[in-house]
């Protein structure tokens, strides 16, 4: 009897230890299962948000759907849905095009309108020229292989046209100028090549590049948007002559010369930015493609 009692007494701590161990295991498992379920739910939400964004892209690519169309938005951020923004790449500056056409002045006007001084602007442009040109000849304030190597960056510059706008952040003397300007990416494109389309030009480029006064800008944008007040719709005023625009606004000779230097009446390349949501999770798809139904898609980015 005594022996059995001792055995039971010895077994008790073991049982208690087992209970504690199992309880710990349950808590641990519960934690893992809950975080696994959470990540599953997030993955599912991300999947649905992407499907939403894809629906938005399909609608935005339809040439019959114009800015302001109610089809460009569905649902809400809180639950699920999408929102599509349509803009035009031909309203932007293609650095490859302007550098290869030896035009510095467009960059001087843009960067000084951002508040950069002329020394910083010159160094940024010279370095962009050196990045794009195929040779190793150093521009006055630029940067070729030696300058990058001394800064500990081997294998630069690219010595070819930019393949992506974000590549500009790697250009010596240009990167700091760009990082001081929020949304600098919106000013540039590599998909559209040519002078800026006056049909799609933004207020900021008309002011910075052609020195439109605020009043001239307002008159021009109101005239161009037509009766509905929305750019990119069927009632827009079609602009077939820069001289007519200059005459309509009564531009001075300096403004007129800038208008002719930097702008053109042609150019049309749609940029569709679609954001899909599901339960607080967002997915964004940006597509650049021609407005012709048979035109090729030029760029597809997701994040």
CA distances from residue 232 to 66, 137, 225, 298 in whole angstroms, order as listed: 6, 44, 7, 20
Number of Cβ within 10 Å of residue 12's Cβ equals 9
Which residues inside 40-59 make contact with Ca ion, applying CB under 5 A? none
- Closer residue to Ca ion, CB minimum distance, 191 or 248: 248
- Does 126 contact Ca ion by CB under 5 A? no
Q: Hey, what are 275's tokens?
A: 């954001």
Q: Are the beta carbons of 276 and 52 closer than 8 angstroms?
A: yes
Rank residues 125 and 258 by Cβ distance to Ca ion and give the closer one: 125
Among residues 49 and 132, whose Cβ is nearest to Ca ion?
132
Among 149, 235, 243, 302, interactor with Ca ion by CB under 5 A: 235
Which residues lie closer than 8 Å to 184 by C-beta, 6 or more apart? 114, 178
Q: Is residue 67 involved in binding Ca ion (CB under 5 A)?
A: no
The tokens describing 98, both together, are 């302007």
Least distance (Å) from Ca ion to the CB of residue 259? 21
Candidate list 233, 237, 265, 299; residue touching Ca ion; CB under 5 A: 233
Using CB under 5 A, which residues numbered 261 to 300 contact Ca ion? none
Strand 80-88 and strand 73-75: pairing? antiparallel
Rounded Cα distance between 73 and 81, Å, is 8
Residue 133 binding Ca ion, by CB under 5 A: yes
- Min CB(156)–Ca ion separation in Å: 10
Q: Residue 120 CB, nearest distance to Ca ion (Å)?
A: 20
Q: Which of 159, 175, 219, 237 binds Ca ion (CB under 5 A)?
A: 159
Residue 122 or residue 130: which is nearer to Ca ion going by CB?
Answer: 130
- Least Cα distance to 189 among 130, 256, 268 occurs for 268
φ, ψ dihedrals at 150, nearest 5°:
-65, -25
Nearest to 269 by CA among 86, 141, 146, 123: 86
**Does 225 participate in binding Ca ion (rule CB under 5 A)?**
yes
The correct pick among 223, 230, 260, 298 for binding Ca ion (CB under 5 A) is 230
Residues binding Ca ion (CB under 5 A): 130, 133, 159, 225-226, 228, 230, 233, 235-236
């Amino acid at each position: 009897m005594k022996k059995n009692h001792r055995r039971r007494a010895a077994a008790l701590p073991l049982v208690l230890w087992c209970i504690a161990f199992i309880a710990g295991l349950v808590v641990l498992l519960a934690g893992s299962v809950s975080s696994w379920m959470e990540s599953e739910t997030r993955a599912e939400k991300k999947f649905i948000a992407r499907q939403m964004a894809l629906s938005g892209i399909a609608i935005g690519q339809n040439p019959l759907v114009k800015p302001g169309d109610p089809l460009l938005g569905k649902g809400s951020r809180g639950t699920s849905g999408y929102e599509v923004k349509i803009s035009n790449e031909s309203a932007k500056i293609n650095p490859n095009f302007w550098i290869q056409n030896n035009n510095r002045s467009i960059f001087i006007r843009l960067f000084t309108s951002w508040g950069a001084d002329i020394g910083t602007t010159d160094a940024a442009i010279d370095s962009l020229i050196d990045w794009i040109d195929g040779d190793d000849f150093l521009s006055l304030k630029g940067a070729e292989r030696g300058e990058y190597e001394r800064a500990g960056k081997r294998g630069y510059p690219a010595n070819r046209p930019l393949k992506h706008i974000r590549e500009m952040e790697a250009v010596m003397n240009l990167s700091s100028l760009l990082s001081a300007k929020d949304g600098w990416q919106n000013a540039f494109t590599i998909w559209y090549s040519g002078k800026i389309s006056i049909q799609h030009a933004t207020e900021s480029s008309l002011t910075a590049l052609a020195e439109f006064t605020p009043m001239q800008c307002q008159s021009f944008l109101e005239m161009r948007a037509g009766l509905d007040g929305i750019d990119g719709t069927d009632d827009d005023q079609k602009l077939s002559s820069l001289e007519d625009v200059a005459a309509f606004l009564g531009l001075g000779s300096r403004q007129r010369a800038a208008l002719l230097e930097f702008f053109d009446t042609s150019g049309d390349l749609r940029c569709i930015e679609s954001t899909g949501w599901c339960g607080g999770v967002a997915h964004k798809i940006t597509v650049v493609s021609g407005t012709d139904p048979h035109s090729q898609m030029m760029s597809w980015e997701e994040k």
